[in-house]
Structure 1
Amino acid sequence: MAKLYFRYGAMNSGKSTALLQAAYNYEERGQTVLLAKPEIDTKEADRISSRLGVTRPVDFLVRPEDDIRAIFAQHRARVHAEAESTLVPENRDVACLMIDEAQFLTREQVDDLLRIVVLDGVPVLAYGIRTDFQTHAFPGSRRLMELAHSLEELKTICRCGRKALFNARLVGGRFVFNGDQVAIDELSSERVTYESMCAECYLRESGGLLG
């Protein structure tokens, strides 16, 4: 039976690397996968990029207003048509849909991921972070935690060596604890970056605040 998987972790826990490895594993066995990510993640534009230097273009980007199940159906039909034209019957369907930065999906889009799994019979692997820089759950992550058949934490460590839980935001190298929920880490004079931290180190930097 197809399942909805949510693989989550703090920043730098290897989520994109794990996704790209999973895609490679499917394709090495002659199976077809579709890759997608929310358009709001402007870093690397239409590509998924791991911190190890591996990159790959997505099959489609998802905007907040998009019907993700309808878009998936269009790409699935394309896969069917290409398989028929090349007479490769074993590749005539999508073996898996993989979503990077799934925390940026809307609640409704996550609901449709479950429909893709249950009604369309295609497994979905969603990768993302659980909470924002103020320790609040992203809407997409919250819904995935509620609906996913399988939850898997991808672990990383804090600067102190403890397990990292939270994602602290820095602007121009200074920790900040107020602002918009989404700020993509891009190069600029006031560059936004993130650091994975354990609870103890996060509370030390925030002065005891938790959002």
Structure 2
Amino acid sequence: MISHGEGFVIRHRSGRYLCSDIRSRGFEGGQPILPLEFCWFLVGNPFAAPFIYKAEPYHRMLATPEWQDVADQFDVVPGPGCAVCGERGGIMWGEEGGYRCDKHKDRNPCAIEGCKRTRAAGNAGLASDQYLCGEHWRKYVPPRSRLRRLYHAHFRRGKREGWTMKRNRQFHRFWDFVVRVARKRHNGGFIDEAEINRIMGWG
């Protein structure tokens, strides 16, 4: 999973992105050409917003007197990119948090930051937390661990009792927890049995 693409963009608190254009007020033949002026507007597509490679120029711009009345409505955020490879440009697929380049338009990445392994999105749709690749599954949910045993127990109960709406909700809640544990362990965190019980409401 790649959390963002290149550079930085400016996002409004409405969730839209700051975009700019250059325009002229117009002039008639023989008249001096008037200075060009910037026109600012908001767009829903973050890939339409201009991005820069360092955030500081945007921070300086928002700190100028011209922006002081509205600067608190904007944030400088990492530019979007394909969640699989980080690329931007060309045709981009998906929505906020699930963008894909044309090459990966029907693929989901491993949930671990920086991993570029993928699998087909299928009926699950585009998401960045539905899959752990084989390497990270074995590393963070190892065989005979409590998490691995609980994972298999969910499937045994589902096969025995049927996959009801309640069973599906329980499994998705458990899977979200597995992903959180894997990501925390990947980032050097440690989760003991007591914390597993607390988070899952078992103890």
TM value normalised by structure 1: 0.27
Q: Which has the higher contact order (CA 8 A, sep 6+)?
A: 1
Q: What is the TM-score of this pair, normalised by structure 2?
A: 0.27
Structure with the higher fraction of residues in strand conformation: 1
Rg larger in structure: 2
